[in-house]
C-alpha cells in the first residue's frame, strides 16, 4: 500500500529535499508551504500522482484548517507527518530584539507545529499507525547569545516530541525529533538575517555544513525502520562544528 506523507515548508530547503526523497522512496507527498508558485514547480517535477501542492501558512491556524479540508479524499489519510516549517529571526540579545520577531517565531515554530499535529494525530491514533517527525535544532539544547526565542522554541519542540511519546504509549504511533546543527543550502540564514547575504556568506564560508539532502536522507531512514522501533531523537552536526568552553566574564 502506498503511504502518504505531509511535509510542511516544502517549497525550499529541508522541506523540498524531504519531499523529493520521499517521493523517490514511493510515498505520495503532500507538500505544504506559503509559496504556491514554487509548489507548482515541484508538482511538475515530481508528478501530480506523487506530489500534491497544498498552500498553507502554518502560523495561521485558520489556514491549516482550510488547507486540510481542501484535500481530496485519497490524500486525507496521513501516514507520515514531517513538521519541518520553522524559522529564526534576528540574532540580537534579548534586551535588543524586536518583539514582533519573537511573536512570529512562537507562532510558527510552536503554535503552527502543535496545531497541525493536533489536527493530524487523531486519525493516526484511530488507525493505530503513523509517524511524526519534528524538525528541532541543536539550539534547543545548546544555548548561544542571540538564540533566545529561537532556541527556546526548539527546546519546546524537543520536549513536546518526548511528551507525545508518553501520551502515545500503548499505540503504534511513533514520534522522532531531528536536531540539526549548522546547515547550509537553505533560506534559513537569509531569513534570519533579513536578506543580508554578505552576513550569510561569512557564516558558511569554509564551514562544510549539513545540507538539505542530509536531513532528507535522515527522514527517509527513520521512515524505513520497522514499526516496533521508535527513534526518539537524532542530533546531527557537521564535522566542522563542535562544542566550546563555557565563557567566564571577569571584571
Angle (CA) 239 190 14, round 5°: 55
pLDDT in tens, 60-104: 999 999 999 999 999 999 999 999 999 999 899 999 999 999 999
Query: Does the pLDDT of residue 199 top 80, yes or no?
Result: no
* Residue 184, pLDDT score: 84
Q: Report the helix count and the strand count for the chain, using DSSP H and E.
A: 9, 7
CATH of domain 4-236: 3.40.50.720
Q: Which residue carries 496521513 as its cell?
A: 78
* Residue 244, pLDDT score: 86
DSSP assignment of 102-113, as one string? HHHHIIIIIIIH
Among 16, 90, 19, residue whose Cα is nearest residue 50: 19
pLDDT in tens, 16-60: 999 999 999 999 999 999 999 999 999 999 999 999 999 999 999
Query: Does the pLDDT of residue 191 top 90, yes or no?
Result: no
* 197 strand-pairing partners: none
Q: Where are the beta strands (DSSP E) in 97-186?
A: 130-135, 173-180
pLDDT in tens, 162-180: 999 999 999 999 999 999 9
Distances (CA, A) of 88 to 143, 187, 201: 14, 10, 17
Tell me the domain boundaries of the chain.
4-236
Cα-only R_g, the chain: 18
Verify whether residue 150 is a known catalytic residue.
Answer: yes
Catalytic residue among 27, 95, 115, 150: 150
* Residue 185, pLDDT score: 77
Amino acid at each position: 500500500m502506498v503511504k502518504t506523507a505531509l511535509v510542511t515548508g516544502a517549497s525550499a530547503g529541508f522541506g523540498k529535499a524531504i519531499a523529493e526523497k520521499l517521493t523517490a522512496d514511493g510515498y505520495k507527498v503532500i507538500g505544504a508551504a506559503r509559496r504556491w508558485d514554487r509548489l507548482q514547480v515541484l508538482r511538475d517535477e515530481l508528478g501530480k500522482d506523487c506530489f500534491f501542492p497544498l498552500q498553507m501558512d502554518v502560523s495561521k491556524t485558520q489556514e491549516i484548517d482550510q488547507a486540510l479540508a481542501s484535500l481530496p479524499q485519497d490524500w486525507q489519510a496521513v501516514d507520515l507527518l514531517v513538521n519541518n516549517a520553522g524559522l529564526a529571526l534576528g540574532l540580537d540579545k534579548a534586551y535588543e530584539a524586536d518583539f514582533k520577531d519573537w511573536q512570529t517565531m512562537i507562532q510558527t515554530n510552536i503554535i503552527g507545529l502543535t496545531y497541525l499535529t493536533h489536527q493530524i494525530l487523531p486519525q493516526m491514533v484511530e488507525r493505530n499507525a503513523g509517524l511524526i517527525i519534528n524538525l528541532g535544532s541543536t539550539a534547543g539544547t545548546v544555548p548561544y547569545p542571540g538564540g533566545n526565542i529561537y532556541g527556546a522554541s526548539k527546546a519546546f519542540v524537543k520536549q513536546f516530541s518526548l511528551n507525545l511519546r508518553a501520551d502515545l504509549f500503548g499505540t503504534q504511533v511513533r514520534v522522532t525529533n531531528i536536531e540539526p546543527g549548522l546547515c547550509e543550502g537553505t533560506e534559513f540564514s537569509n531569513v534570519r538575517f533579513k536578506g543580508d547575504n554578505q552576513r550569510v556568506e561569512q557564516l558558511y564560508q569554509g564551514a562544510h555544513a549539513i545540507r538539505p539532502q542530509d536531513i532528507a536522507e535522515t527522514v527517509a531512514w527513520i521512515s524505513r525502520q520497522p514499526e516496533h522501533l521508535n527513534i526518539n531523537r537524532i542530533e546531527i552536526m557537521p564535522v566542522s562544528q563542535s562544542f566550546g568552553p563555557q565563557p567566564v566574564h571577569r571584571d
